[in-house]
Chains A and B, each alone.
Chain A
């Protein structure tokens, strides 16, 4: 089966502003594909080009093997979209808003709309204007999922959602994956992508830094490890171990920066009396550093 999304040397420039530069990646059928990068990296630009709201400066995007510009209507028929900047019809109620989009899309089962609204605990009777950002987001999510599209394009889907609704969203993405449908999800939060996605593309300053299996990426990711010993331990004992990038001693505590598995370090630490061991989740910046480190090598 063809790639669901295929970007080939996609470049979009806006005068002096940064757009995206020479992006190439493929999203496979049935996968949850993460698109990770800080705000302003070009995530939304990529999505808006694929959906034909803006046109590439060079290169192309194909969705379902169809041309993003020539076949945009057919592509739109088969996708569900959640915009990054939420702007819904403020004067409509949630129900009216969904009714309008259901009419434009056709083939929407009212029962499924109800089910989604209940799962997200979305208030459909209030005017959208009166809803908080999180509650608007719920209505917009129902809109994206309600026609069971083959591909969901979700731009920062969990912004403003409370943790319970986030969990429900995660379950829904799981269901979509189980049914063999595809999800393209942009995010600036690593744990979310790690939790949901099979593969992830990392974008920074308009350029693709890496496209990786999430498991591989975690293995490569640099994280910090603080080991609190009963007595001061020389940094040298750990400096040469595999994966250790940096070591600094501070009293009884060793601060290590580590890439890859912790096995050698844990085994070395076992030779001393360990009081506490603290591992920090890698931040997005740390992950970028890991990939830049690789490039420099």
Chain B
């Protein structure tokens, strides 16, 4: 009962900190898994590098679509290796899964659980609850990004994996922006509908389609213009791990988050909440 007698500042003092607190265990496991996977890939690096010519031949023999996916992959350089092993598939998938989960839980999850009424009976505007939960999702996704970044920067050198820090940072940041964008879309769908299923399903479906569009875009002529509609194009089309961040592309990803948040604010403010 000591906890009640003091009401000291704690992780329970705001909706933001409580949302982060709710996630602390899950986030711990995510961080551990992410760091472990990245470490494993780092440990493979010396072997891969020494046999780079063979691996590069594999890439050349792949169907064009996969080569597009691995654009910039080159098993002879740290950046190329990270592009193929980390940024083509693993990082975007993990960040998307986490951010979409967090975004869908934020409002729709709490609404389906039935606790949203009580939360909103406190003198906290809907807008405030939504923004707190949005920032909690963004902060947690950013935290995972930092874990990935720190693992490579701190432990990569143990395995002679030393990418350009600036470009590697740019690629990590781009992955963070991609995760936050899809997390924001999940949040917005949840705010507009109150359905957690839709809030997970809609952005996941969009991610799948736009991922494929971006992958096939360069080789299928009629798809090419559509590539510009794919968030994955803005995430990796400019190969940040090789060339650094393309500001315009980063702005597009940022704008997706901003637009989704605006839609979430408008729809959540106007809607009847489910009992």
Whether the Cβ atoms of B7 and A108 lie closer than 8 Å is yes
Whether the Cβ atoms of A105 and B123 lie closer than 8 Å is yes
CB distance from B255 to the nearest CB of A (A): 30
CB distance from A152 to the nearest CB of B (A): 11
Contact with A along B5-18 (1 / 0, CB 8 A): 11100101111001
A143–B272 Cα distance when bound, in Å, is 24
Whether the Cβ atoms of B123 and A53 lie closer than 8 Å is no
Contact residue among A77, A87, A102 (Cβ-Cβ distance under 8 Å from B114): A87
Contact residue among A77, A91, A92, A103 (Cβ-Cβ distance under 8 Å from B13): A103
A100 in contact with B18 given A76-B121, A85-B114, A87-B115 (CB within 8 Å):
yes
Hey, which chain A residues are within 8 Å of B113, CB to CB? Answer: 87
Whether the Cβ atoms of B15 and A95 lie closer than 8 Å is no
Whether the Cβ atoms of A95 and B123 lie closer than 8 Å is no
Whether the Cβ atoms of A104 and B124 lie closer than 8 Å is yes
B117 at interface by CB-CB < 8 Å: yes
A99 in contact with B7 given A54-B272, A55-B272 (CB within 8 Å):
yes
A113–B2 Cα distance when bound, in Å, is 12
Hey, which chain B residues are within 8 Å of A124, CB to CB? Answer: 1, 4
Interface residues of B in 109-123 (CB under 8 A from A): 113-123
Interface residues of A in 78-127 (CB under 8 A from B): 79, 81, 83, 85-89, 91-93, 95-96, 98-105, 108, 110, 113-114, 117, 124-125
B40 at interface by CB-CB < 8 Å: no
CB distance from A157 to the nearest CB of B (A): 14
Whether the Cβ atoms of B121 and A81 lie closer than 8 Å is yes
Q: Which residue of B lies closest to A84 (CB)?
A: B275
Q: How many residues of A contact B (CB 8 A)?
A: 42
A74 at interface by CB-CB < 8 Å: yes
Whether the Cβ atoms of A73 and B117 lie closer than 8 Å is no
Whether the Cβ atoms of B118 and A88 lie closer than 8 Å is yes
Q: Which residue of B lies closest to A53 (CB)?
A: B273
Tier of interface size on chain B: 20 to 34
Whether the Cβ atoms of A98 and B4 lie closer than 8 Å is yes
A48 at interface by CB-CB < 8 Å: yes
Whether the Cβ atoms of A88 and B115 lie closer than 8 Å is yes
A95–B13 Cα distance when bound, in Å, is 13
Whether the Cβ atoms of B121 and A87 lie closer than 8 Å is no
Whether the Cβ atoms of A125 and B123 lie closer than 8 Å is no
A44 at interface by CB-CB < 8 Å: yes
A4 at interface by CB-CB < 8 Å: no
CB distance from A249 to the nearest CB of B (A): 49
Whether the Cβ atoms of A76 and B6 lie closer than 8 Å is no
Hey, which chain B residues are within 8 Å of A76, CB to CB? Answer: 120-124
Whether the Cβ atoms of A110 and B273 lie closer than 8 Å is no
Which A-B residue pairs are the 8 nearest by beta carbons? A87-B114, A77-B123, A81-B121, A104-B122, A54-B272, A103-B13, A100-B12, A76-B123
Q: 14 A–B contact pairs at CB < 8 A?
A: A53-B273, A72-B125, A73-B125, A76-B120, A76-B123, A86-B114, A87-B114, A93-B3, A95-B3, A99-B4, A101-B118, A104-B119, A108-B7, A110-B4
Question: With contacts A53-B272, A124-B4 known, what are 11 further pairs, Cβ within 8 A?
Answer: A53-B116, A73-B125, A76-B122, A76-B124, A85-B275, A87-B117, A88-B118, A91-B22, A102-B4, A103-B13, A114-B4
